[in-house]
Structure 1
């Protein structure tokens, strides 16, 4: 396999100074050799990452300009029924339960997760994480310490749940690092630092390196990750196939290329994962400018019994089973308070039981207090009870069938509340927050802001009152539902939310919009300067 040769002048890098209180952590993870490794991996693959971004835009434009909808490709990966993914190592077999949205920058949460009775921990630099410079340094340092047996409160890494490292997705840049005169790709910074310091230890102990890959849109993007894996393994002298990665199918285009995605990663594949809110949001993002793709109230009318989600889940399970790959379900966002009703817990348990019965090999929960209730499910069920979702072949129309319903005032208020509070928490450096008994992260923020944008864009009528959703109505709702005491940062969050849901041209990702916004950069700079004083 050929890679871009490092010709011409040597790669250059500029890294922002860390806050004073993080200088020791910074020196530990951003060593001279680690930085050199990251520079090389970015230099080798930066052109292909740039090409990826243009291909995404081109595919989206095919619908906007020509009305072209996705379809299943005719490929060898699909027509050849004989191939399977490479067999999984022992630690990845029977991986039933992961804890999700565990930002390693939250040290207490990270330590608690590593001490939980689960098979894996989603070490999250994506949906549940806000990539401030502080959080990046702390997160990478905490992972380093955990793998090297230096993190207070945990034992040896080989006796802990496996680390399922989720780097940032391709839409995210690391503004604190400039390589070859260009802002560095966030995922390669996360991946490169993690691999350089930890891959050899994890390999020797048989417990990694393992990954979740989010927001892929095509098999060509899976191939890019596979090439990065191969290059990295060669560079670090690891056997090919050591790295394993589970791809989150949370994009409508990716749903049409599941076979091809598994095929491109087959030596490094850890199967596929369902991400229902991200997946639904992607349909609005790609096609929502067309009034035929207006989604109804997500809380009332969008659930796994709807055709487009039921068929999507069926396709994930069938594709994985055909290729010998695990199929992983989504994450339960429920929080378990100290005085939680048994009915509330039973509802989650029953939901996860149904996921097992329909063929999922595992799934995620957020709250560690749910673990004891979930772990008994597999032992209580027999293999004969598990009957994968069926219903004939899945067609393109199945995956693009928008559910019926309408927009309710209650649903609109909920979306506004989640969207504003997510931005407010992001500006405070938090990638997720707790709201009305559940955890909210970028997945729920995406679907929330996209539904509000769509309602305003198409002047949708609210079911009960037949009132048109407008910017003025939005402002009235904000004044009603945002009960948190107003401060300057919350007012900024409100302004940013209004801006993003009233813009003519829809940003693909709320995290990209926030990460690249000058206000977020100013806040980061202010916080870094404050900590240096």
Structure 2
């Protein structure tokens, strides 16, 4: 295929020639070229705004607050978001973290009783060229009813498409001599090939927007939506998007984010690990913001996270927008009669009841076996399709609430757990996977981000272990990393995967020993020569499913 003028595109990965030809047509490339050319400069502006805001916080020592210049938006009680289509109004349980390149799991989710599926090109996906093309093509097949035993769109779970976030670039396409913003690559191809069909079947196009940090970024997305709908002949407001509030700065601008997207908003989503990691990202050098051991002291019952969830629900429902909770990462044991099965289900039930009582309209699960139990739970404790009627007029969330770091220290098991998650995520990434299973739950870039950034921060502030008063230092983390590698490599890895695991340990140590923590671990990984060279070799060997990391 000849490149469009001003555009360069890498060749098809081996084995995906037909998919490549389907996705990269002359018309789709022309559309992508125009989309990217139109908005590339504005993408640079919002990314520069991120740098400016972070530098200001670092140099001034200031703390974020609700912006005075937009107070009129927050004080105006009259504006609401445009009502969402009927099928979006009842999304009690979605499947989360579904990397669409995983064809088998994708088909299973399509045949499940879930109301929606988070088609995840971001947190749960490793963006090799192979994975991106395979994933976009699988969405194309699902939308056009091309899978065997397909469920037609009107009956299938809604596809909630989640392009990569602004921190990522697509290395395999260049427009006007520059690598393209990854979210525009993903969004443009998904809309071009699937937008009209989803609209005709009253099933979309619906999106999740990751890692939005300000209302200016929401404004940019809104402009992209308007432009795209005009180009594709879709009515204004057809596209609906749920913004994931994954950053402490965004929590101070939730109303403004809804306002900017009010014609295209499907609401807001609250999670836990990306949001918690953003505290390290923005305030990591300040000892007062040192997060304690996440496995013990960081959960949605803590003041800073509970306040964030309460404010998100209150903000959404005031504006008649849907508020969704985070994803259940725990996996149910296969034996339904076992004590461990009951323990996991009880734990999930307790945590999700907290969100339901706070007023969320739905949430996500990774394990398909949790769909029906969680649907029954939310139906038992709510009435109707959602909880939009539940508006907390008695609630006031202050900056102090949002910035209140929980008390607690660092434990040796917590430190080792964070090291293991960080190492295993890099190991999975080098294998072409964006998530993995460990100790009975799914881990992805969000948990890798909080795990790795915490280790970096504990080294930075020389935190003391509660167990024996040792200081978390480079030397201690290096020693523990060797222990973790020995434990991980003793469960059946081949020589090749042991070598890869050693590479993952080395890369992990490089990240946590940096003077300044990278903006995102995925940015570090996607621009590292190891990752780029692995793309050229095609899909690398994936860890054998029989390794049973969950038993460690």
TM-score normalised per structure 1: 0.95
1:238 aligned onto 2:234? yes
Distance across 2 between alignment mates of 1:89 and 1:392:
29
User: In structure 1, the residue corresponding to 2:463 is in which secondary structure?
Assistant: coil
Partner of 2:498: 487
* Partner secondary structure for residue 157 of structure 1: coil
What does residue range 354-373 of structure 1 map to in structure 2 within 5 Å? 354-373=354-373
Q: CA deviation at 1:388?
A: 6.7
Match of 1:125 in 2: 121
Give the superposition deviation at 1:157. Answer: 1.7
- Is contact 1:170–1:185 with CA below 8 Å preserved after alignment? yes
Deviations 1:486-510 (A, max 9, x none): 6221111111100000001211100
Partner residue of 2:276 out of 277, 280, 294: 280
Match of 1:214 in 2: 210
Deviation of 1:526 (Å): 2.2
Distance of 2:272 and 2:80 partners within structure 1: 26
For residues 247-287 of structure 1, what are the alpha-carbon distances to aligned partners after superposition, in whole Å with 9 as ceiling and x for unaligned? 00010110000000000000000000002111010011110
1:72 and 2:66 equivalent?
A: yes
The equivalent position to 2:531 in structure 1, one of 513, 520, 529, is 520
CA distance in 2 between counterparts of 1:382 and 1:333 reads: 23
Shift of 1:351: 2.1
Structure 1 residues 418, 389: closer, same or farther in 2, change over 3 A?
Answer: farther
2:38 is matched with 44
User: Quick check: 1:58 aligned with 2:58?
Assistant: no
What CA RMSD, in Å, does the superposition of the two structures yield over aligned residues?
A: 1.7
Could you tell me which residue of structure 2 aligns to residue 188 of structure 1?
184
User: Is the 2:430–2:540 Cα contact (8 Å) retained in structure 1?
Assistant: no
1:528 Cα deviation from its structure 2 partner = 6.6
Alpha-carbon displacement from aligned partner over 1:466-501 (angstroms, at most 9, x marks no partner): 111112111211122232326221111111100000
Is 2:89 the counterpart of 1:93?
A: yes
State the shift of 1:393 in Å.
1.2
SS of equivalent to 2:154: helix
Among 405, 408, 413, the residue aligned to 2:416? 413
Counterpart among 24, 49, 55 of residue 18 in structure 2? 24
Q: What secondary structure is seen at the aligned counterpart in 1 of 2:466?
A: coil
Deviation larger for 304-313 or 481-490: 481-490
Task: Tell me the distance in 1 between the aligned counterparts of 2:182 and 2:379.
Answer: 40
3-state SS, counterpart of residue 99 of structure 1: strand
SS at match of 2:118: strand
What is the deviation of 1:527? 2.5
Question: SS of the residue aligned with 2:488?
Answer: coil
Structure 1 388/448 Cα, relative in aligned 2: closer, same or farther at 3 Å?
farther
Structure 2 distance, partners of 1:184, 1:467, is 46
Kindly state the Cα deviation for residue 168 of structure 1 after the two structures are TM-superposed.
0.1
In structure 1, the partner of 2:494 is none
The CA deviation at 1:383 is: 4.3
Q: 1:229 matched to which residue of 2?
A: 225
Question: For 1:344-363, what aligned pairs fall within 5 Å after superposition?
Answer: 344-363=344-363
2:546 alignment partner in structure 1: none
In 2, the alpha carbon distance for the partners of 1:115 and 1:389 equals 37
Secondary structure, aligned partner of 1:456 = helix
CA distance in 2, matches of 1:20, 1:72: 51
- The answer (yes or no) to whether the contact 2:317–2:391 under 8 Å persists in 1 is no
SS in 1 for 2:16: helix
Task: Give 3-state SS (helix, strand or coil) of 1:159's partner.
Answer: coil
Shift of 1:169: 0.2
Q: Which runs of 4+ in 1 moved over 4 A?
A: 382-391
- Measured after TM superposition, the shift of residue 69 of structure 1 is 1.4
Distance (whole Å) between structure 1 residues aligned to residue 15 and residue 344 of structure 2? 42
User: Structure 1: where are the runs of 5+ without partners?
Assistant: 1-9
Task: Provide the rounded CA distance (Å) in 2 between the counterparts of 1:343 and 1:528.
Answer: 38
TM-superposed CA distance for 1:242, in Å, is 0.2
Q: CA deviation at 1:152?
A: 2.3
2: CA distance between counterparts of 1:342 and 1:275? 24
Distance 1:525 1:420 in 2: 23
TM-score by length of 2: 0.92
Paired with 2:283 and 2:498, the residues of 1 have a C-alpha distance of 36
Instruction: Give the equivalent residue in structure 2 for 1:137.
Output: 133
Q: 1:265 aligns with which of 255, 261, 264?
A: 261
CA displacement at 1:343 relative to structure 2:
2.5
Q: Deviations over 1:377-415 (max 9, x none)?
A: 233225499877787411111111111100111110000
Distance (Å, rounded) in 1 between the aligned partners of 2:304 and 2:463: 22
- Whether the 8 Å contact between 2:432 and 2:539 is mirrored in structure 1 is no
Q: State the shift of 1:525 in Å.
A: 1.2
Say if 1:12 and 1:454 are closer, same or farther in 2 by CA, change over 3 A: same
1:148 aligns with 2:144: yes
Go from structure 1 to structure 2 and tell me whether the alpha carbon gap of 1:305 and 1:391 turns closer, same or farther (over 3 Å shift).
farther
- Alpha-carbon offset, residue 11 of structure 1: 5.2
Q: Which structure 2 residues correspond to residues 279-318 of structure 1 after superposition, within 5 A?
A: 279-318=275-314
Could you tell me which of 308, 317, 321 is aligned with 1:325? 321
Describe the superposition over 1:285-335 as per-residue Cα deviations: whole angstroms up to 9, x where unpaired: 110111111110001111112111111011001000100001000000011
1:512 Cα deviation from its structure 2 partner: 0.5
Q: C-alpha distance in 2, partners of 1:382/1:109? A: 30
* Aligned partners of 2:118 and 2:159 also within 8 Å: yes
Q: How many residues align?
A: 521
